[in-house]
Amino acid sequence: MPTVIRKTTKAASRTAADAGNAASQTRKGIDRQQVLNAARELCNVRGVDGLSIKDIADRLGIRPPSVYAHFEGLPEIRAELAKAGHYALAHQLRSSAVAQTGASGVIAVAKAYLAFIREQPGLYSAAMQPNASPEARAAAEEWLSVIQKLLESMGLSGEDRIHALRGIRSMVHGFGQLEVIGQFRTRVDRDASFDRMVRAFVNAIGRKT
């Protein structure tokens, strides 16, 4: 009986120690944003589906229980990454649209959109996850509104504007994803291909106004 008591005591001590370590690491300055930043960095290397609590903890130099001090688990982290992706894309598109209107503005925003996919492929994939939360859908409106306003400046409204918005999204998303997975293997300039495609599309929707 005394041996059993000693084992139970040791197990309890280990559990208490783990909890103490997590609390100590939290006190040392690891906060929720740092955990999310580490997840974001890993996401761009491994993709949103390649994330794990252990890898996030290892990147921060902490134990996995410390991650759970800030997030309930991977689903919550992925949901936060989705929102972060939408807001980051909105910032990039807004920056590219400064002092821009009409066709030139749409072209500039399309190029900024592609640049975001190239620079932050994992974060973009996180933003495009299915079954988005209401918060993520609201965040998506931040960048969608940038494109919509430029389409309005071209004279597009109603269903024509919706069709054009869908076209731009499909065009940039498709090109970017094909590029990310290495499907463009010839030496022909990819930027030139993208520029031709976008200009042809913008010219086509411009003839509708």
Q: Which residues, 6+ apart, have CB-to-CB distance to 51 below 8 Å?
A: 39, 42, 43, 74, 77, 78
Cβ contact 21:65 at 8 Å: yes
**What distances in angstroms separate CA 178 from CA 151, 183, 188, one per listed residue?**
25, 5, 15
What is this structure's pTM?
0.81
Fold observed for domain 76-206: Tetracycline Repressor; domain 2 (1.10.357)
Q: Which residues, 6+ apart, have CB-to-CB distance to 47 below 8 Å?
A: 121, 122, 125
d(CA 90, CA 132) in angstroms, rounded, equals 17
Supply the pLDDT for residue 29: 67
Supply the pLDDT for residue 19: 44
Supply the pLDDT for residue 56: 94
Supply the pLDDT for residue 28: 53
Supply the pLDDT for residue 30: 83
* pLDDT, tens digit only, all 209 positions of the chain: 444 444 444 444 444 444 444 444 443 568 899 999 999 999 999 888 889 999 999 999 999 999 999 999 999 999 999 999 999 999 999 999 998 999 999 999 999 999 999 999 999 999 998 888 899 999 999 999 999 999 999 999 999 999 999 999 999 999 999 999 899 999 999 999 999 999 999 999 987 65
Supply the pLDDT for residue 197: 97
In the chain, where the domains are located: 2-71, 76-206
- In 3D space, the residue among 192, 157, 172 whose CA is nearest the CA of residue 106 turns out to be 172
Cβ contact 128:48 at 8 Å: no
Q: Which CATH class is domain 2-71?
A: mainly alpha
